[in-house]
Structure 1
Amino acid sequence: MLSLARKLWAEAISGGSSTGPFGGRGGAASVPRGMRVYAVGDIHGRLDLLDQLLGQIARDADQAPDLLKYLVFLGDYVDRGPDSRLVIERLACGLPPVFGAVFLRGNHEDTMLGFLSDLRVAPGWLTYGGDATLESYGIPAPDPEAPPEHLLQAQMMLNSLLPPHHRAFLTGLRNHLTIGDYHFVHAGVRPGVPLDRQEDKDRLWIREIFLTSRADHGKIVVHGHTIAPEPEMLHNRIGIDTGAYATNRLTALVLEGTDRRFLCTV
């Protein structure tokens, strides 16, 4: 059973189908047998909460030594909170080796990468949290309305101070992942569009049309991006952005077989 779980995970992370004999939406949604998946919501520079939640996950995983354990991070690792640099370092280099891990791209990582090459991105990025990311790398954050030369200086400094393995981590982020009957993505999907034909802009930014849809998307969509005070579990989606940077509540969804439960920092 573990060898089959490994095979299905390998297919999932390589872009193949991971539904296999345990998928299909005829019954309760599930992940493959022999596997436990921990999906982690938006971190936004809160290393303290990330480490706290990882500790909870490790203790939880210790109770199931015979299962393969996997982490799926839903994006928005940077901005707003004080420790974006250290969050990237932890995710890139400091996760427990007993877990497989996949990292999805959030709109904040996408915008940070855009800032590295396009100054037109600067005002928007600085307005919604990029200033905290710059400061985490020791770079004074200019005002969003600062003269172009000040924005250029910040851009040049970030390009210089961003470690190569941080850049590789950011550029290597995936936009989506399917495991069994679940589809993991940062923001959501556009109703009526097949999952393999979704536009990346929607995967990173979509809100209302997805959040209010009652449509069956083909899989249950697990997402972050839109803050709610509690995890949201609907028939077609599960939202786990609980606003960690402001609420101190970072959430993980735990999936095993047909079971679903949550781990939260508060």
Structure 2
Amino acid sequence: MLKLLKSLVSGGRTEPAAPPTLVPPGQRVYAVGDIHGRLDLFEQMIALIEADDAARNSECPAQAPAQTTVILLGDLIDRGPDSAGVIAAARAWMQRRRVRILAGNHEEMFLGAFERDETLRHFLRHGGRETLLSYPIDPDDYARMTLEELRAAMPGFVPQDDLVFLRSLEDQVRIGDYVFVHAGIRPGVPLDEQVPGDMRWIRGEFIADRSPRDFAVVHGHTIVDEPELSPLRLGIDTGAYASGRLTAVGLEGAERWLLVAQDDSVAASEA
């Protein structure tokens, strides 16, 4: 089920007054929160964004269509049932339109799991088992393997093309007055000096920061019941793998709106 919300949701926190946050004229941006292996919701979100983008272009037929960029905020994988399918769908979407994808902490763990047993152990404890089983490995074979045997076998069933794709993901995107990262930024550190580890893993220090700045940060990583949209920060990870709700925010000029893909079981429970 697709559900479209066009409203601003405040995180309930007081932040300093700021001038309007803007996307450059002629551009439109959609940022999608953490997908975590929910191919069903991701496919719905793709359809929702395509329809919304086309509808907004048709509202002003005399003008040239907006230059639209879609940004996936990272954590495409783990926890949900079809991480391999999400990767395939993201790669296919990139062939059809401008899609930029950020590396999340779960992509970092996945890549590191090929190199170190300890990283593999950590990866498996945080949803990596579901990722590996979304590839063509027999579940019984998986269950019998030791950690060392599993790491040795992984290159045989995870396509090299997927690993090349994951290694190519970005850490930070800036468009107009918006900065897009997976988790957040280190307070007090200039954007060009931010380190990937912070942008993929930071949480409390970033969420609590109220320091004024001339841009708003759009991020996932920290799960919220409802999106938090404020002058300084837009948090849109609504826990798709567990909640059944995948959220995106659309941005154009000073306007913000939400798109939500929602599965039938959640819709039925809310009815």
Asked if TM exceeds 0.5, the reply is: yes
1:239 to 226, 235, 238: 235
RMSD: 1.8
Q: Which residue of 1 aligns with 2:212?
A: 216
Pairing of 1:134-173 with structure 2 (within 5 A): 134-139=132-137, 140=139, 150-173=146-169
1-structure distance, mates of 2:93, 2:232: 33
1:68 corresponds to 2:73? no
Task: Judge conservation of contact 1:142–1:151 (CA < 8 Å) in 2.
Answer: no
Find the residue that maps to 2:99 and give its secondary structure: strand
Q: Which residue of 2 aligns with 1:193?
A: 189
Task: Judge conservation of contact 1:177–1:185 (CA < 8 Å) in 2.
Answer: yes
2-structure distance, mates of 1:156, 1:84: 20
Find the residue that maps to 1:265 and give its secondary structure: strand
1-structure distance, mates of 2:211, 2:161: 40
Task: Judge conservation of contact 1:192–1:217 (CA < 8 Å) in 2.
Answer: no
Partner letter of residue 31 of structure 1? Answer: V
Task: Judge conservation of contact 1:75–1:103 (CA < 8 Å) in 2.
Answer: yes
1:29 corresponds to 2:28? no
Segments of 5+ residues of structure 1 without an aligned counterpart are 1-24
Partner letter of residue 111 of structure 2? Answer: L
Q: Which residue of 1 aligns with 2:47?
A: 55
Q: Which residue of 2 aligns with 1:22?
A: none
**Structure 1 residue 95 displacement after superposition:** 4.7
Find the residue that maps to 1:250 and give its secondary structure: strand
Partner letter of residue 52 of structure 1? Answer: Q
CA deviation vs aligned residue, 1:156-185 (integer Å, no higher than 9, x gap): 222122222211110100111100000000
Task: Judge conservation of contact 1:92–1:165 (CA < 8 Å) in 2.
Answer: no
Number of equivalences: 237
Partner letter of residue 252 of structure 2? Answer: E
Partner letter of residue 125 of structure 1? Answer: F
TM-score, normalised to structure 2, is 0.83
Pairing of 1:222-261 with structure 2 (within 5 A): 222-261=218-257
Partner letter of residue 112 of structure 1? Answer: F
**Structure 1 residue 154 displacement after superposition:** 1.6
TM-score, normalised to structure 1, is 0.85
Find the residue that maps to 2:209 and give its secondary structure: coil
2-structure distance, mates of 1:84, 1:42: 12
Q: Which residue of 2 aligns with 1:264?
A: 260
Find the residue that maps to 1:39 and give its secondary structure: strand
Q: Which residue of 2 aligns with 1:112?
A: 110
Q: Which residue of 2 aligns with 1:43?
A: 35
* Distance change >3 Å, CA 217–CA 159, structure 1 → 2: farther
1:175 corresponds to 2:148? no
Task: Judge conservation of contact 1:41–1:250 (CA < 8 Å) in 2.
Answer: yes
Range moving further from structure 2, 115-124 or 71-80: 115-124
Partner letter of residue 123 of structure 2? Answer: W
* Distance change >3 Å, CA 96–CA 57, structure 1 → 2: farther
1:88 corresponds to 2:80? no
2-structure distance, mates of 1:215, 1:182: 16
2-structure distance, mates of 1:80, 1:53: 18
1:205 corresponds to 2:173? no
Find the residue that maps to 1:165 and give its secondary structure: helix
1-structure distance, mates of 2:111, 2:24: 34
Partner letter of residue 208 of structure 2? Answer: T
